[in-house]
Amino acid sequence: MKSHVGMEQKVCPVCGQTFDTGTILLDKRLRNTLERKTVTGWDLCPEHAKLWEKGYIALVECDPEKSKFTGGTIKPEDAYRTGRIAHIRKAVAKRIFNVEMTSPVAFVEPGVVDMLEKMQEGETSGD
């Protein structure tokens, strides 16, 4: 049932979960155009926003065969996520990928998360 008032929700580009933002939406014309809960776009969920604020970037593994590329990049809505996510510090990402990371999310191809896990194991095992 539509109304002229709704609660805003966003979708997290990292985990894909829909969450309430706490914002109330109002159709200025007072037309019944809004669902009770209305998704208005993408934003980090509270958990992933905290990690971004602490200096972490989310690497979200995507299947390149099932994802849609636009100009060599993937939009959150076009990423076919595999479910594997890694969080690394911005400074570490810059060293590994040799590029300045300005976005809280980077979509990576399969194998990148495995590579990072192996690198971490090498550091913690004292090799």
Which range (78-87, 100-109, 110-119) has the least confidence?
110-119
Q: What residue ranges do the domains of the chain occupy? A: 5-45, 55-124
Q: What is the mean pLDDT of residues 12-31?
A: 93
Among candidate residues 74, 90, 65, the one with its CA nearest the CA of residue 13: 74
User: Residue 125: is its pLDDT beyond 70?
Assistant: no
55 confidence band (pLDDT: 50, 70, 90)? very high
**The two three-digit tokens of residue 11, written as one number:** 């979708």
User: Is residue 51 classed exposed, middle or buried when 0-12, 13-18 and 19+ CB atoms within 10 A define those classes?
Assistant: middle
Contact 4, 34 (CB under 8 A): yes
